[in-house]
Chain A
Amino acid sequence: RKEVEQDPGPFNVPEGATVAFNCTYSNSASQSFFWYRQDCRKEPKLLMSVYSSGNEDGRFTAQLNRASQYISLLIRDSKLSDSATYLCVVTLSGGYQKVTFGTGTKLQVIP
């Protein structure tokens, strides 16, 4: 089983729709969780951290379910500019804090 798994998509959604992605992780000792966004042929950029109680940033909501070992990202009122690949990032505790990136979920928002 991969350490971090994501549905590669693509998720094709119309403008204004709500879309959700999940990301599962295999190591129950995972400590920190993030969502990064990567535009085509560009570098990844932090979208948001994921907190245990869940957190929201504008149209984006991130949640963590430790019991089932997954995190989720919900995007409301999708914009064309949201089209990108969303990378799930999971970190283990420890001296170096091993960081594992998922392979990403591609979102295409259609006019």
Chain B
Amino acid sequence: NAGVTQTPKFRVLKTGQSMTLLCAQDMNHEYMYWYRQDPGMGLRLIHYSVGEGTTAKGEVPDGYNVSRLKKQNFLLGLESAAPSQTSVYFCASSYRGGGYNEQFFGPGTRLTVL
């Protein structure tokens, strides 16, 4: 099993450009999450999904959109990138809600917005 995979691993964008980050999991987990991690801020939840076709906002959703058309995939979109979105993005999944179950993380995407 690959677990949780993320593509791309690194990306540099110019302000105003758009991009999509892809997360895939092969553990048949219902819940999936997108986090961003910044120095001194810890992991902050951007959006999450409790099942195929459903998404919800997390703590810092502005400037991001998500989709979960297939159970195994969770996409994070940046419509118009800003320098404040420079960060490390982690995708995670869990069998049930993250409060009771281990969250499995992908290796991260390092995004720089110039």
Contacts and interface: CB of A to CB of B under 8 A. Distances in A.
B107 interface: yes
Interface string A42-79: 11111000000000000000000000000000000000
A33 to B, nearest CB: 10
A87 to B, nearest CB: 7
A103 B41 contact: yes
Contact of A93 (B41, B90, B99): B99
Q: How many interface residues does chain A have, given as a range? A: 20 to 34
A42 B56 contact: no
Interface string A27-45: 0000110100000011111
Contact of A91 (B35, B42, B99, B107): B99
Contacts of A18: none
Contacts, number: 50
A44 to B, nearest CB: 5
B42 A46 contact: no
Interface string B78-112: 00000000000010000001111011011110000
A97 B98 contact: yes
B48 A96 contact: yes
A105 to B, nearest CB: 11
A101 B42 contact: yes
